[in-house]
Structure 1
Amino acid sequence: MPHATVSQPTTAFYVNDGLLSPERVGRLQPSSPSEPLDELRRRYEQDGYLFLKGLLPRQDVLKAREAYFDLLAPSGVLAPDTLPVDGIFDGGKDKLDFPGIGAGSTDANGRPRGGLFVDLALQAHSEPWYKDDFCKHPALRSFIAKLMGWGDDTLGLARSLLRNNTPHNKAIGVHYDQIFLRHGEDTSITAWVPMGDIALDGGGLIYLENGHTLGREIETGFFNKAKQTGLTDEEAKDAFNKNMMGGGLLAEGPKEYGEEHDRRWLVTEYEAGDVVLHTPYTIHASTINKDPKNVIRLGTDLRFVNSSRPYDKRWTNIYEFGDGV
């Protein structure tokens, strides 16, 4: 069974603040979607994540990847004479002109630099092949409905973050998702879906070991302090967000953050069809994409809620810059 103990990675993992030391690196534990649901629920609650191998049909994922890079090709991001589905970055271009959503520098209006590339990356969120087909894939929704016990009340939120990460560019900083979903209950679930194969050094998501317990402690501690000062719940939410770093981050650098909290970062390689489910408090980040073949990392964050419970209605609209979330 794939959930058996896996070997320690030996690859060098670079993050925004440097190289992760080997003793601060561990492995994500894989699971199979065919295992008993009770066991999968136990792992999800215990570990704060569930790394599912092959939940989605590989060809469906690669079809969406191809459509994405077909759309972005006019920006000049792809290497000449390469196939869109391969997503090979043109190494002769300035990587800073091709920033990932949520990870690049912004202009005075809060828009990432990148011109046509960024405009097309934003447009992809509204394309039917993405919002209607990929984000609503029945294999994903039905699995979450069974795992969480929500049945027909399982709702995929329209707002998602379809992120690319070109080689050697800035990576995603340290955060947990409840930071962005605080106008609803803390009962949502995130599905991070790699859209294509991602090598160990290819910029995939990394998870802080037992980070879901730390995330909940951070949230609870801040709210307790806020309430002691006489703030209402709404005022506490606003105060919490104002005390976060830019973009809602706990920290820019996973290296220092892991050392500060004496925890490892869990890593893995990903294959098209894999999905990681994680809780609203699971702390995660990403590595810098060091893929030697210049493969662009592409992945999306999809959020699901129990529609019979209060949830953050700001997430019912398709993502756009400056939407206030």
Structure 2
Amino acid sequence: MSSLALQSTNEPALELFAEGKRLSTAPNRMGRLMPTDPAIGLQEIRERYDQHGYVWLKGFLKRDDVLAFRGWVFSHLEKSGLTEAGSDPVLGLASSGEPEKQLADRILMSLVRSVVFEGFCAQPRLAQFMDQFLSGISYLHKRKIMRFTRPGTPVVTPAHYDLVYLRGGTSRIVTAWIPLGDTPVEMGGLVYLEGSHAIGTRMEVEFQEKSKGLSPEERISAFNRNMTAGGWVSKDLPEMAERFDTRWLVADYEAGDVMLHSPYMIHASTANQSAANRIRLSTDIRYQNVDDEIDARWGNHWSLGDML
């Protein structure tokens, strides 16, 4: 296997949790994602993406730009009581009290509609790279997600592959997941099921076969009668590793990293266990070639509860 070992023999085992279940630290069930230096060139990047279902571009964006954007986000969310009053917004330190959830949600919905956020997602280096990666003019979906997760909460993203929510257009989607700040393993960034782009492809073929009798609207829905609740593949990450005899791959992400993954690649997140009390912040956005069919449902800004 190409992925690195999870830890050296001198390191204590790191316990990761999702939906209250502990991920196994056994070598055959846990590993490390393989980082890629963007300087290796487009052809090698494409080959790694096709082979592994993902490519982790180390230091692709300017670190200072990412941290400045993180600080901008938390400077606005501070009004809701999300962060520690008077602390440096770049740190994203969680407040000791409960934030005003409705206010935090309203602020977040404003931020994802802002010119600043649009500019961050469409910055020239990323846009030009995606043009090359997609062999044409790249299209950035209007629906762009930004999430924060406080430490000590059970909030995680169950295992899924992205095409489940994008069936109304081309399957040639590329997701860019960008950690907005340093996100070591214990903060619960994305984890990937090794080799699962092949598993997701098989699952989608089976789904399409089962869905022949559904209406066109039902066939593209992640919530139709043939899907699990929420469109998830599973909420039991340890069981998935056993069932498919593979490993969950983790990483210590840094500000400036960009993860690209296939729409069939199964991924999830784990609980934020930051000992430094830092809030995890990230964005996930989708690109495709502008000449391919575009899922019209993704032509609107992200809204909480929009069922996508």
Structure-2 separation of matches of 1:186 and 1:312: 10
- Residues 128 and 31 (structure 1 numbering): CA distance in 2 closer, same or farther, change over 3 Å? same
CA deviations over 1:223-256 (Å, ceiling 9, x no partner): 12333xx446554334873433333212223222
1:294 equivalent in alignment to 2:277:
yes
Which residue matches 1:117? 104
Structure-1 separation of matches of 2:172 and 2:85: 45
1:164 equivalent in alignment to 2:116:
no
Which residue matches 1:14? 17
Which residue matches 1:68? 73
Which residue matches 1:186? 171
Structure-2 separation of matches of 1:287 and 1:171: 5
CA deviations over 1:155-179 (Å, ceiling 9, x no partner): 1111111011111221111111101
SS at match of 1:126: coil
Higher alpha-carbon deviation: 48-57 or 73-82: 73-82
Say if 1:75 and 1:117, in contact at 8 Å, map to a contact too. Answer: yes
- Residues 234 and 319 (structure 1 numbering): CA distance in 2 closer, same or farther, change over 3 Å? closer
Which residue matches 2:34? 29
- Residues 73 and 149 (structure 1 numbering): CA distance in 2 closer, same or farther, change over 3 Å? same
CA deviations over 1:22-57 (Å, ceiling 9, x no partner): 122110000011102211111100100000001111
Structure-1 separation of matches of 2:121 and 2:281: 14
1:139 equivalent in alignment to 2:125:
yes
Structure-2 separation of matches of 1:71 and 1:241: 37
Gaps of 5+ in 2: 8-12
Shift of 1:193: 0.4
Say if 2:164 and 2:222, in contact at 8 Å, map to a contact too. Answer: no
- Residues 237 and 285 (structure 1 numbering): CA distance in 2 closer, same or farther, change over 3 Å? same
Which residue matches 2:194? 209
Higher alpha-carbon deviation: 202-211 or 243-252: 243-252
Say if 2:22 and 2:238, in contact at 8 Å, map to a contact too. Answer: yes
Equivalences for 1:239-258 in 2 at 5 Å?
A: 241-258=224-241
Which residue matches 2:59? 54
Normalising by structure 2, report the TM-score: 0.91
- Residues 19 and 232 (structure 1 numbering): CA distance in 2 closer, same or farther, change over 3 Å? same
Which residue matches 2:159? 174
Say if 2:16 and 2:186, in contact at 8 Å, map to a contact too. Answer: yes
- Residues 213 and 233 (structure 1 numbering): CA distance in 2 closer, same or farther, change over 3 Å? farther
Higher alpha-carbon deviation: 201-210 or 230-239: 230-239
Structure-1 separation of matches of 2:259 and 2:241: 21
Say if 2:223 and 2:231, in contact at 8 Å, map to a contact too. Answer: no
Structure-2 separation of matches of 1:260 and 1:305: 32
Q: What is the one-letter code of the residue matched to 2:78?
A: A
Say if 1:67 and 1:129, in contact at 8 Å, map to a contact too. Answer: no
Structure-1 separation of matches of 2:73 and 2:220: 35
SS at match of 2:70: helix
Structure-1 separation of matches of 2:72 and 2:225: 38
Structure-2 separation of matches of 1:315 and 1:116: 25
Say if 1:65 and 1:195, in contact at 8 Å, map to a contact too. Answer: yes
Q: What is the one-letter code of the residue matched to 2:97?
A: K
Shift of 1:219: 0.7
1:236 equivalent in alignment to 2:236:
no
Q: What is the one-letter code of the residue matched to 1:12?
A: E
Say if 2:135 and 2:289, in contact at 8 Å, map to a contact too. Answer: no
Which residue matches 1:148? 134
Shift of 1:82: 1.4
> Size of the alignment, in residue pairs?
299
Structure-2 separation of matches of 1:286 and 1:218: 20
Normalising by structure 1, report the TM-score: 0.87
Which residue matches 2:97? 93
Say if 1:164 and 1:297, in contact at 8 Å, map to a contact too. Answer: yes
Shift of 1:181: 0.6
Structure-2 separation of matches of 1:319 and 1:139: 24
- Residues 239 and 119 (structure 1 numbering): CA distance in 2 closer, same or farther, change over 3 Å? closer
Gaps of 5+ in 1: 99-113
